[in-house]
């Protein structure tokens, strides 16, 4: 059996977390997928996937092999494109990740245009409020907000956003407006754990950094919920400027303690490919970068 076919099947099974889903993705029969995995495991002499009637789990050896398999398939795509030269057109599967609200507001319009422009590309969009390891999770491109810790990623800066404190005007009329971070102890706070479980809010005063421990009156797990609670006058919330840009423009929310805001957070498009990355990755990054750099709320 063709080794490249086996590798393609294995990657699909691992990424889809199931044989039936992989069969649909590859347009193969489930028995054909099962045979390919069994043949590959027999050739390698190891168990890649542990299967039960209820679930499937990738073994430790299978995870290591998955990383190598993805790299082999990516190298093959690049070799095909190098042979085609400048006439290579984006094609294949592209996996993209971004924070939930950011993805919905700013990345999806770029994905829609990309799909319309390049009919031979399929896109998987994974929107999560956590830092995703592109290599481990088989993703091609990601958007990250904040300083980059992983120097192995290639990155393109496309904008910045601020951490802002905001509240509804009605709440501030009723409870007064804080003049300094310490005043927040006298207010009702709304905290979202999306993307971070930090127990303190960061402020800067005359160049000195301070962290204020937060005891929220309301704790939520999504930024949407925090925004809604702030709009309802429940209290003061800390969010990213792009998340509440429309509400601030409409006057339904109001920024407070702006002089104490920490420095803006950079926005980067990151990818794990080298300088000769696939046409689909290069083309998507170029398109998305243009979209994001044209957004007033991100610059």
3-state SS, the chain, equals CCHHHHHHHHHHHHHHCCHHHHHHHHCCCHHHHHHHHHHHHHHHCCCCEEECCCCEEECHHHHHHHHHHHHHHHHHHHHHHHHHHHHCCCCEEEEEEECHHHHHHHHHHHHHHHHHHCCCEEEEEEECCCCCCCCCCCCCEEEEECCCCCCCCEEEEEEEECEEEEECHHHHHHHCCCCCHHHHHHCCEEEECCCCCCCEEEEEECCEEEEEECCCCEEECCHHHHHHHHHCCCCEEEEEHHHHHHHHHHCCCEEECHHHCCCCEEEEEEECCCCCCCHHHHHHHHHHHHHHHCCHHHC
pLDDT band at 22 (very low <50, low <70, confident <90, very high): confident
What's the confidence (pLDDT) of residue 289? Answer: 95
What's the confidence (pLDDT) of residue 81? Answer: 63
What's the confidence (pLDDT) of residue 83? Answer: 63
Q: Any idea which of 14-18, 44-48, 165-169, 234-238 has the lowest mean pLDDT?
A: 14-18
pTM (predicted TM-score): 0.71
pLDDT band at 3 (very low <50, low <70, confident <90, very high): confident
- Is the confidence at residue 86, as pLDDT, over 60? no
What's the confidence (pLDDT) of residue 299? Answer: 81
What's the confidence (pLDDT) of residue 224? Answer: 92
Among 79-93, 134-148, 228-242, the range with the most confident prediction by mean pLDDT is: 228-242
Range(s) of the chain covered by CATH 3.40.190.10: 90-158+264-299, 163-263
Range 1-88 classified under CATH 1.10.10.10: yes
pLDDT digits (tens, 9 = 90+) for 251-289: 999 999 999 999 999 999 998 755 456 788 889 999 999
What's the confidence (pLDDT) of residue 82? Answer: 62
**In contact, 140 and 96? CB cutoff 8 Å:** yes
What's the confidence (pLDDT) of residue 277? Answer: 65
**In contact, 124 and 16? CB cutoff 8 Å:** no
Percentage of the chain lying above the pLDDT 70 cut: 91
Q: Which has more pLDDT, 26 or 232?
A: 232
Range(s) of the chain covered by CATH 1.10.10.10: 1-88
CATH number listed for the domain at residues 163-263: 3.40.190.10
What's the confidence (pLDDT) of residue 239? Answer: 94
CA gyration radius, the chain: 23
What's the confidence (pLDDT) of residue 148? Answer: 83
What's the confidence (pLDDT) of residue 112? Answer: 96
The pLDDT of 14-41, averaged and rounded, is 87
pLDDT digits (tens, 9 = 90+) for 151-175: 667 889 999 999 999 999 999 999 9
**Topology (CATH level 3) of domain 90-158+264-299:** D-Maltodextrin-Binding Protein; domain 2 (3.40.190)
**In contact, 240 and 145? CB cutoff 8 Å:** yes
Q: Which has more pLDDT, 206 or 78?
A: 206
pLDDT band at 27 (very low <50, low <70, confident <90, very high): confident
Long-range contact set of residues 116-120: C-beta below 8 Å, sequence gap at least 24: 117/287, 118/89, 118/90, 118/91, 118/280, 118/283, 120/89, 120/90, 120/91, 120/92
pLDDT band at 30 (very low <50, low <70, confident <90, very high): confident
Q: Any idea which of 148-152, 168-172, 239-243, 288-292 has the lowest mean pLDDT?
A: 148-152
The tokens describing 241, both together, are 């400027």
- Is the confidence at residue 225, as pLDDT, over 90? yes
């Amino acid at each position: 059996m063709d080794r490249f076919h086996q590798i393609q099947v294995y990657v699909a099974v691992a990424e889809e977390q199931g044989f039936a889903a992989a069969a649909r993705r590859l347009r193969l029969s489930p028995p054909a997928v099962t045979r390919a995995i069994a043949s590959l495991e027999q050739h390698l002499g190891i168990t890649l996937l542990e299967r039960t009637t209820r679930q499937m789990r990738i073994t430790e050896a299978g995870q290591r092999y998955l990383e190598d398999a993805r790299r082999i398939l990516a190298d093959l795509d690049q070799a095909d494109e190098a042979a085609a030269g400048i006439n290579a057109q984006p094609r294949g599967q592209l996996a993209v990740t971004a924070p939930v609200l950011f993805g919905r507001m700013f990345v999806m319009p770029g994905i829609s245009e990309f799909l319309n422009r390049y009919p031979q590309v399929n896109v998987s969009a994974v929107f999560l409020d956590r830092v995703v390891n592109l290599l481990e999770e088989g993703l091609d491109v990601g958007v990250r907000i904040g300083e980059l810790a992983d120097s192995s990623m290639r990155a393109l800066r496309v904008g910045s956003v601020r951490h802002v404190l905001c509240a509804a005007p009605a709440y501030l009329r009723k409870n007064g407006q804080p003049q300094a971070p310490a005043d927040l102890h006298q207010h009702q706070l709304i905290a979202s754990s999306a993307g971070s479980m930090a127990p303190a809010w960061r402020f800067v005063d005359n160049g000195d950094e301070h962290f204020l421990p937060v005891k929220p009156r309301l704790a939520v797990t999504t930024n949407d919920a925090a925004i809604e609670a702030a709009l309802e006058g429940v209290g003061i919330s800390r969010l990213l400027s792009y998340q509440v840009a429309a509400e601030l423009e409409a006057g339904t929310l109001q920024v407070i303690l702006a002089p104490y805001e920490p420095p803006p957070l950079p926005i980067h498009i990151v990818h794990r490919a080298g300088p000769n990355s696939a046409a689909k990755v290069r083309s998507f990054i170029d398109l998305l970068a243009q979209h994001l750099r044209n957004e007033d709320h991100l610059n």
